Amino acid sequence: MASLFNKFQDAVRTFARSPSFSRDPRRLQFEADINRLFMYTSYNSLGKNADEADADQIIDMAGNASFDDQQKKVQENIHNQIKRFCTTMDGILIDVDEPQESQSKATPSRSGLSFAVGKNSPTTNHPAVSKTRPLKRSELSQRLKDSLGYTLDVKPSQIPHSEAGQGLFLNGEANVGAVIAIYPGVIYSPAYYRYIPGYPRVNAQNTYLITRYDGTVINAQPWGYGGETRELWDGSKMLDTRPNTNVTEKGSDRFWKMLSKPLESSRAGSGEVLERRNPLAFAHFANHPAKEMVPNVMVCPYDFPLTEKDMRTYIPNIAFGSAEEVNMRRFGNFWFKWGSRNSESNGPVLRTLVLVASTSLCDEEVLLNYRLSNSKRRPLWYTPVDEEEDRRRWS
């Protein structure tokens, strides 16, 4: 498998030098990442019996397919994996013999902070929360592992620096190209940057922000460790729901004991019914590898189609504001209004992120290259994986 990983890596470097790739550094890095994701996820879609001959064929396809075709294929591969995950979760949680209350009669479970800030809008405006088996989060996680072959644990990181705090660990085995985790939380398009708590210094007290190449920001801080129920979640609460542990708090772990600033109800809407026990909604706990360590996952943008209503409860995100109100375009370091998003041919989407395995994983810590900007002062613990990639990502 190591030789397979190196083969894909060498192919990406070769393709990146091709004239067909963008000459804009930022765009070049995005295309190189999609190229890599195309190979990883396509290989994964072949199943456990795939071999190096299949890898060679995929590399040939990656060299001949257009960027748009590769991007579409990556979305298709990721969506198929997420769909299998959602189907598996339904099989574990939904009792087909248990009658479900109609939406008009069901009273949704509401996020606790919504009561504290006076969100007392009529429940008839809220979607119903379907009944599920009363499994604890740990029980659900184990059953998912029994079905998929892996789940996730959050526990003290093995990264040897004082600010590492909690880390994300794969419990089980996953093949290259597998969706390992979903990045949960509140999604902000560039039009709503000013509503991110702490704006304009949004990352001063929040290390759980991540940015997609299209400028979409996801704030995982309100999600925290999830919860123990399926509930109506509006992103306005963040409670300390960590398992009992004797580990001393380190660095950013202390933020889990604070309540985040509630979102404006007129912008955040009434929320969505989400499965807060979601065993894969922990991507925000993945740490950056220490020196002489290598990342084993990479970020992948995933545009979840909102028409897939049966899957929606397992996508641990809500959008701040209306994604269709305004589109934005980046010029240099600035974003400007640019038309409307109502023209999306494939329907409305939720612009999310997942972590995809870049090699086979087995009972180990999940490590993600943070690619922090080298134009700003970086933390002392940060060791660049690839300075050139860091430079291109933020050029």
Per-residue pLDDT tens for 253-279?
A: 444 333 344 445 445 556 899 999 999
Phi, psi (degrees; rounded to nearest 5) at 318: -130, 150
Q: Is the pLDDT of residue 338 over 70?
A: no
Distance (Å, rounded) from C-alpha 92 to C-alpha 167? 26
The CB density around residue 130, as the number of other CB atoms within 10 Å, is 18
Query: What local confidence, expressed as pLDDT, does residue 260 receive?
Result: 41
Mean pLDDT (the chain, rounded)? 81
Mean pLDDT, residues 138-159 taken together: 97
Residue type, 264: E
- The predicted model gives 113-138 an average pLDDT of 66
pLDDT digits (tens, 9 = 90+) for 79-96: 999 999 999 999 999 986
What distances in angstroms separate CA 391 from CA 286, 332, 372, 387, one per listed residue?
A: 22, 14, 9, 6
pTM metric for this prediction? 0.81
What are the contacts of 374-379 at 24+ separation with CB within 8 A?
A: 379/163
At 5-53, the pLDDT tens digits run 566 666 666 665 565 555 788 899 999 999 999 999 999 999 888 888 8
pLDDT score of 125 more than 90: no
Q: Does the pLDDT of residue 115 top 80, yes or no? A: no
Residue 15 is predicted with a pLDDT of 60
Cis peptide before 200 (omega within 30 of 0): yes
Poorest-pLDDT segment among 156-165, 261-270, 290-299: 261-270
Percent of the chain having pLDDT more than 70?
A: 72
86-89 long-range Cβ contacts below 8 angstroms, 24+ apart: 86/310, 86/311, 86/314, 88/144, 88/147, 88/148, 89/144, 89/275, 89/278, 89/314
